[in-house]
Amino acid sequence: MQDKDLYSGLIRLHILYHAGEGPIFGLEIIQELARHGYQLSPGTLYPLLHGLEKRGYLRSESSNVSGHFRRVYTITPKGKKALNRAKEKVRELFGELFER
């Protein structure tokens, strides 16, 4: 198992978190994740976004930004509920990981 396999769930949560803050798009999320040490290519990120959308956590639409079409993602009510539940689980897990 590679380390990145351990982080895939955290990356999905990070995506949901930012989508909860406002509309997101691929390059923006790639740059945001890079600030946290995650190096994702579009070939890795877009399947994650599509998977979150397929599961009903995100929705997307095409947007014209300065003459370029961009797919913009927003969190759904289902995504907000899932993110809130995940936050509780993460708090519990991190409490155990760092209590020693």
The average confidence (pLDDT) of the chain is 89
Q: Domain residues of the chain, as ranges?
A: 3-98
- Residue 4 confidence (pLDDT) above 80: no
Pairing of strands 24-25, 68-75: antiparallel
Give the pLDDT mean for 18-45: 92
Is domain 3-98 given the CATH code 3.30.70.20 in the classification? no
Global pTM? 0.83
Of residues 30 and 97, the one with the higher pLDDT is: 30
- Residue 35 confidence (pLDDT) above 90: yes
Amino acid making up residue 15: I
Q: Which two tokens stand for residue 26?
A: 């691929």
Q: Which two tokens stand for residue 59?
A: 């929705």
CA angle 66–70–73, rounded 5-degree value: 130
User: For every residue of the chain, which 3-state class applies, written as one string?
Assistant: CCHHHHHHHHHHHHHHHHHHHCCEEHHHHHHHHHHCCCCCCHHHHHHHHHHHHHCCCEEEEEEEECCEEEEEEEECHHHHHHHHHHHHHHHHHHHHHHCC
CB distance 62 to 74 below 8 Å: no
pLDDT confidence of residue 1:
42
Percentage above 90 pLDDT, the chain: 63
